[in-house]
Amino acid sequence: MASLKTQERTKERFSLLLLDLEEYYFEQHIAYNVTSSSKKERKRGSFKVCSRSIIFDPEDLTEPIIKIPLRDCKKIEFVRKENNPFNEPRPSTISVSSGQVIYIKESNVIAPYRIERGAKKLNFQLEVWNKTEDVVQTLLQLHRASCLEKLGDQTAMIEANLQSRLARSSFDKNCFQNVAEKPHMECEVEMVTPLVSNPGHVCITDENLYFQPLNGYPKHVIQIKLNRVRRIYKRRHCLRPLGLEVFCTENDFCSDIYLKFYNTADRDEIYYYIATFLENHMTEHTAESYMLQWQRGHLSNYQYLLHLNNLADRSCNDLSQYPIFPWVLADYTSAQLDMTNAATFRDLSKPVGALNKERLDRLLARYRGMPEPRFMYGSHYSSPGYVLFYLVRVAPEHMLCLQNGRYDHADRMFNSIGETWKNCLEGATDFKELIPEFYGNDFSFLENKMSLDLGRRQNGSLVCDVVLPPWASDASDFLQRHRRALESQYVSEHLHEWIDLVFGFKQRGSEAVAAHNVFHPLTYEGGIDCDSIEDPDERIAMLTQILEFGQTPTQLFCTPHPQRITPRFHNITRSSSINSPVSELSPVSQSEDSSFEDLTDESRKLAWANMSNLTRVSSHKIHKEAVTGIAVTRDGAAIFSTSQDSTLKMFSKELKEFQRSMSFSNMALSSCLMLADGKTVACSSWDNNVYFYSVPYGRRQDTLMGHDDAVSEMCWFDDRLYTASWDSTVKVWQCASDGSSSHKRSQCQLLAELEHDTGVNTAGLSPAGTLLVSGCKDGAITIWDTSSYETLQQVHCHAGTIHHAAFSPDSRHILSVGADFCMKVIDVQTGMVISTVKAEEEQRCFCWDGNSALCGGQSGDLLLWDLLSSTVTKRIPAHSGAVTAMWMNDLCSTVITGGEDRQMIFWNLQS
């Protein structure tokens, strides 16, 4: 990545990546962080004023960089200088009171940021005293902007500040390399690097192109000799024709500078001026000329794809439009890579989403039932998140910048090339292609050379180097073989088919529909005119969504791309025609060593495939009001249920009758769960309490009085109890048994209180217990990190109360159902609603496997939903009132439901 070159040059710890997205770094001052009156407690460093934060970068590399978001500041004040008893003047101080401070690069290690919440006061003294008051006034102005209610107003005020600064400054002509240079033009621009824009001034002379950053970062001036320029491209930046990228190399995909102008006329004038220094530039650098060179073998497949990406507005400086390369291999399991066999290769005539026929059939069923504008795939093949998924080991600070100071969950990291390909082939929402690095010479992105702590997977292994296919001896060997595959006979003969899909005539329109190549309308150039949206908040939100979701390249060809002229080799296995789609050829058989499929997982898949055969076994009316919760002992012999009749009842599966009844209060019980010891049932109540019931002793053993309103739902993992309440909180409790007696528990210790805007109606944990989802009465879903208790995503996705929300088995998605009759599938990583299903009735509860859901509806029927096609595949009559509770065993073979009709119904899956 180009930005890595910049970081190597500067040798600084500070980086613009420490800023928030769309934030500017304005100015810096040498200053001291003063923690007491003692000179020893004064830490010297750089005090940086940014548009949305204050950053203090200490000279001592063992000390963390301090970041104070301006929106969290309670007070910023100028404390005037005064004399001490010895008549020595004390310097003026900038005093900052904040409710949150972020610590970055502690001990000079790149790691997730540490956030300290709570009132904190920090004092800074500038080395140049007389600037203190001016700096405070600037901070107060930016603080006011950050505290404005509307994002559009914030952005407008910050932009006005930026433009004022640029207008008051100009390019320093003392920086010219030659006193005889003749300036041609000067204007205000921003230099663009991945996730970052740095404002300043560009000046072009008869010899050089100069960029001078407003803040002097990463250096005072950047110079490019015009006679060294080999390629220039106009760029579409943030969907507007304002970008210009300059290359001093022929084939490198990293440019020397990427500039964003404030108006198209300035951009075009500099573009045409530089073009006069390039021989035949305006006629040579076209898609058709490159195509001709490639056809005749003068350009390799790799070089040709780089040129097409550049012409189609793809740039390594813009992660929302990063260069795209195809998956070309389909074999990541064999010990030897046989490039003479067509089955070794991916079918390049199909987009990734169409390579798996079963998945495509489900997607097409959903597509046909959609209103206009329709799309087949809910996610794109290239987005900033996908690029950094591949590059996290060499660009960790970019990942931390994109994800608010956090890495992704360890199991969602780029852990294995084979696993990634499998997920792209089988995942419900994963259709990503590759990036140029997979065909280059630098294999560092595959190795954790920086010894980053990227987390531990569910299987206990640390995330380290990327696991390579068996046919590669090491990372270098993998890249060499992968590049060889890209330049192989098979790929050379079929690459034009992939170009048709990504850059050509199958990119949009009826040809795209026929090729199963239709993505969300917002991903296409011209899909929406953001400038026409009058509301600034709505415009910014729309633009952000477009940039984060991914963008389809500019269309380069409107007719079928010709095939490459290549000599024919006849040593490719022809048991199936080489023109047959790879997905229709016989799959590569896996050895025992390469099959890691768990038998339990296989059983679950089989069970869900046959879920329509769910059969009623028995029904029992044991409550006087609606059933609200169901919990089952490990052996399945005893079933516990709670009800709005305020009782907890125990039902014997063997005797087919209820044996115990317990009432804790005169108010409804809302849910129950069996704790890990198998001897304790926890019950939540509308009386604000949680009750612990001892199964062996048959009595209440503890009461947790932890909320100010009804406790709506609970979940449990690793001695931690999570209680959701209508008092707008989810509380986390450490509730380990005291060990001295099997019927007593130690007092539950409150670990965290997760605040919401409205009452919380449902909560659920991911299978690994690392993520928590909560659903509120206002229709908002919130995803929490259970180790840091930080909000990862918040999505207002329902128009009313959320009844139930749960993670998919792989933790990648969340399904939620609400009073608005909608079922929503949310992508955990991005927080994006990737699927919406509108039902004919309210769905109250469900179990799901990531693709299908068994739901209990308001009518009392059980509905089996195919979420990809948004269709009900089976309706099973069940209760005479709404289904209010549902339990399913681990193997998905037994289901118990409870309803408003006071019944519990037992179901078995018939094979």
Phi-psi region of 132 (alpha: psi -120 to 50; beta: other; left: phi over 0): alpha
- Residues of the chain above pLDDT 70, percent: 90
Q: What is the pLDDT of residue 531?
A: 66
763 & 884 share domain:
yes
- Residues of the chain above pLDDT 90, percent: 68
pLDDT band at 727 (very low <50, low <70, confident <90, very high): very high
Distance CA 519, CA 516 (A): 9
Element (H, E) at 287: helix 287-295
Domain for residue 694, yes or no?
yes
623 & 581 share domain:
no
723 & 845 share domain:
yes
Grouping H, G, I as helix, E, B as strand and the rest as coil, residue 627 is strand
502 & 386 share domain:
yes
Domain for residue 261, yes or no?
yes
Distance of CA 893 to the CA centre of its chain: 34
415 & 379 share domain:
yes
Q: How many CB atoms lie within 10 A of CB 880?
A: 12
**pLDDT tens digit string along 206-255?**
999 999 999 988 889 999 999 899 888 899 888 789 999 999 887 777 88
In the predicted model, is pLDDT for residue 815 greater than 90?
Answer: yes
Place of tokens 């960790």: 396
Distance CA 213, CA 225 (A): 18
What single string gives the DSSP state of each residue in 827-872?
ETTT--EEEEEE-SS-EEEEEE-SSEEEEEETTS-EEEEETTTTEE
461 & 544 share domain:
yes
Phi, psi dihedral angles at 2 (to 5 degrees): -60, -35
pLDDT band at 659 (very low <50, low <70, confident <90, very high): confident
pLDDT band at 678 (very low <50, low <70, confident <90, very high): confident
Domain for residue 892, yes or no?
yes
**pLDDT tens digit string along 357-394?**
999 999 999 999 999 889 999 899 999 999 999 999 99
Residues in the chain: 911
Q: Quote the tokens at residue 831.
A: 């927080």
648 & 698 share domain:
yes
In the predicted model, is pLDDT for residue 56 greater than 70?
Answer: yes
Domain for residue 594, yes or no?
no
Q: What is the DSSP letter of 569?
A: -
521 & 616 share domain:
no
Q: Letter for the amino acid at 359? A: R
- What's the mean pLDDT when you consider all of the chain? 88
483 & 540 share domain:
yes
Domain for residue 311, yes or no?
no
83 & 156 share domain:
yes
Taking residues 561-586, report their average pLDDT: 44
In the predicted model, is pLDDT for residue 48 greater than 70?
Answer: yes
Taking residues 837-864, report their average pLDDT: 93
Domain range enclosing 251: 173-285
pTM metric for this prediction: 0.66
**pLDDT tens digit string along 506-516?**
999 999 999 99
**pLDDT tens digit string along 315-346?**
999 999 999 999 999 999 999 999 999 999 99
Q: Letter for the amino acid at 253? A: F
Q: How many CA atoms lie within 13 A of 779 on its CB side?
A: 13
Taking residues 622-630, report their average pLDDT: 95
In the predicted model, is pLDDT for residue 596 greater than 50?
Answer: no
Picking from 564, 588, 612, the residue at the C-terminal end of a domain is 588
Taking residues 425-445, report their average pLDDT: 95
Q: What is the DSSP letter of 466?
A: P
Taking residues 696-707, report their average pLDDT: 90
796 & 759 share domain:
yes
Number of domains in the chain: 4
Q: Quote the tokens at residue 892.
A: 């998905």
Phi, psi dihedral angles at 339 (to 5 degrees): -85, 5
Picking from 150, 167, 184, the residue at the C-terminal end of a domain is 167
Reference 165, options 142, 131, 193, 136; nearest CA is 142
Task: Note whether 666 and 654 are within 8 A (CB).
Answer: no
pLDDT band at 593 (very low <50, low <70, confident <90, very high): very low
Beta strand 222-225 with 231-237 is unpaired
Domain for residue 631, yes or no?
yes
86 & 228 share domain:
no
Domain for residue 307, yes or no?
no
Picking from 141, 167, 193, the residue at the C-terminal end of a domain is 167
Which of 490-504, 548-562, 688-702 is least confident? 548-562
Q: What is the DSSP letter of 634?
A: T
Reference 308, options 490, 445, 436; nearest CA is 436
> Domain containing 153 — which CATH number?
2.30.29.30
Domain for residue 297, yes or no?
no
Grouping H, G, I as helix, E, B as strand and the rest as coil, residue 568 is coil
